[in-house]
């Protein structure tokens, strides 16, 4: 039975949970069914304890006559199972093409730049490179959760929600974790390490961390943190992809308002982007009907504490889109990253402040990820944000001194609206309010055509600018 783990190792026993597997046992002498018996005992044991709670090491003890005839010990790794629906795994993904992209693909693209000049960079995830199993298991073992209560931590590793949360805390762990994988640096001094732009692969970072007695690798920024986390998630069998949010906000006081201050003699700060990952899993802890299942935001870049740790997520993308900010984990923070209002203040020399600009649509633009099976970019902004309705007001004044009969008004505009309005009753003055949801961005033209029994084809147009 194919567990699709041959890419990871052909020497170690690595299986996906909930799926049967076979192994061959070679004995020192022929097995006689009438005289011999074979007993297999399986235990989960902590390497540093005699208590049977650590779900990492399997001891196969085979006893014949005499009882000490044969014994062996085998190390077994059990991964999440994204492939088989019959296993009922919480990370199961029904589409085979998506499974290949988000679990098995070792190469990807991460997007940087600005929303009007998006710059793709290639990234090597390398989740099946040598020693990646040992590295990823060690990441879990180094977490603060494991140090506080090893038995509880290992028992909870069957839950992808828990595991993904631990990984976010470890990739960018600071303060409370002495062995976080990466140390962030957003300055210009990279002494003692390398610039974040140096990296283009996760494996050298993870290997350096593992070989250096679990000391943080210097240095990383958001796209590096996310690339590394994606590698770990995919190795463990949790579908994962890297997401870039342009015009990203950091709402420190949780009021969904981003305030920018600059002096009347200064320069406005540059626009920004932020990179996180999404992991695919069910969320039975939030709803039994599956409304919050699917992609979950996980942000390994250390920004804000969550339950006392620097980690973020998993936050359901569907909850972010619908504004369900009361849900865990960290939905309000992610919601603000893509939806906050921007207010710009001018700070004068005397310390007084003047509000000079306010925008409610700037944040959260061109949210991007690599498309499935291709190197093209996929815009998933609509997964995070509701399409906003705009209203067009059309006013027509009867220019003649007679009653206009059989009036009709047709509105059209590529990317704005489809279809016609019903006939308008004959009046001297008509005002029509039309709601529409644009489906393409950019500069668009709204066309209005008024017809009646007395004259036809009274046309007017208006330019509408639709933001992405």
- Catalytic residue list: 222, 274, 299
| Cα-based angle 134, 207, 210 (whole degrees, multiple of 5) | 60
Q: At a CB cut-off of 8 Å and minimum separation 6, what does 140 contact?
A: 146, 153, 157, 163, 166, 167, 170
Q: Is the dihedral of CA 435, 437, 442, 448 positive or negative?
A: negative
Residue (of 99, 93, 77, 87) closest to 19 by Cα position? 87
SS3 labels along 375-405: CCEEECHHHHCCCCCEEEEEEEECCCCCCCC
- CA-CA distance, 308 to 369, in Å (whole number)? 30
Q: What are the tokens at 227?
A: 């690339």
Distance CA 100, CA 241 (A): 12
Alpha-carbon distance of 122 to 277, in angstroms, equals 16
- Tokens (6 digits) for 196: 């974040």
Residues β-bridged to residue 359 = 342
Quote the tokens at residue 214: 């679990």
**Contact between 413 and 373 (Cβ < 8 Å):** no
Q: How far apart are CA 423 and CA 336, in angstroms?
A: 43
């Amino acid at each position: 039975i194919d567990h699709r783990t041959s890419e990871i190792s052909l020497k170690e026993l690595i299986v996906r949970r909930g799926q049967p597997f076979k192994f061959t046992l070679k004995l020192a002498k022929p097995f006689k069914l009438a005289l011999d018996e074979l007993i297999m005992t399986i235990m989960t044991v902590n390497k540093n304890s005699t208590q049977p709670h650590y779900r990492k090491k399997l001891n196969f003890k085979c006893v014949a006559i005499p009882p000490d005839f044969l014994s062996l010990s085998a190390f077994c790794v059990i991964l999440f199972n994204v492939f088989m629906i019959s296993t009922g795994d919480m990370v199961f993904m029904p589409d085979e093409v998506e499974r290949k992209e988000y679990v098995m693909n070792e190469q990807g693209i991460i997007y940087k730049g600005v929303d009007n000049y998006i710059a793709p960079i290639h990234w090597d995830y390398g989740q099946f490179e040598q020693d990646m199993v040992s590295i990823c298991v060690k990441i879990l073992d180094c977490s603060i959760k494991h140090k506080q209560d090893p038995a509880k931590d290992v028992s909870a590793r069957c839950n992808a929600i828990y595991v993904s949360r631990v990984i976010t805390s470890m990739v960018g762990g600071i303060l409370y974790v002495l062995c976080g994988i990466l140390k962030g640096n957003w300055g210009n001094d990279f002494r003692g390490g390398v610039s974040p732009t140096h990296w283009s692969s996760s494996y050298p970072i993870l290997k350096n961390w593992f070989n250096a007695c679990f000391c943080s690798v210097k240095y990383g920024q958001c796209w590096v943190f996310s690339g590394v986390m994606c590698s770990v998630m995919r190795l463990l069998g949790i579908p994962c992809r890297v997401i870039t949010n342009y015009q990203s906000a950091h709402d420190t006081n949780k009021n969904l308002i981003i305030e920018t201050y600059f002096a009347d003699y200064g320069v406005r700060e540059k626009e920004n982007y932020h990179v996180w990952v999404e992991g695919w899993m069910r969320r039975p802890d939030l709803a039994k009907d599956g409304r919050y299942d699917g992609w979950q935001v996980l942000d390994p870049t250390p920004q804000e504490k969550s339950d006392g740790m620097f980690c973020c997520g998993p936050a359901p993308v569907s909850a972010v889109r619908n504004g369900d900010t009361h849900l865990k984990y960290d939905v309000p923070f992610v919601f603000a990253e893509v939806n906050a209002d921007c207010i710009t203040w001018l700070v004068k020399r005397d310390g007084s402040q003047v509000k000079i600009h306010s925008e409610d649509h700037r944040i959260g633009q061109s949210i991007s990820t690599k498309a499935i099976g291709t190197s093209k970019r996929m815009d998933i902004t609509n997964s995070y944000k509701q399409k906003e309705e705009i209203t067009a007001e059309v006013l027509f004044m009867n220019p003649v001194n007679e009653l206009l009969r059989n009036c009709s008004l047709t509105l059209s505009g590529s990317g704005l609206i489809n279809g016609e309005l019903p006939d308008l009753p004959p009046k001297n003055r008509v005002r029509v309010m039309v709601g529409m949801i644009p489906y393409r961005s950019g500069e668009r033209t709204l066309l209005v055509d008024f017809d009646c029994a007395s004259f036809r084809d009274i046309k007017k147009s208006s330019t509408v600018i639709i933001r992405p």
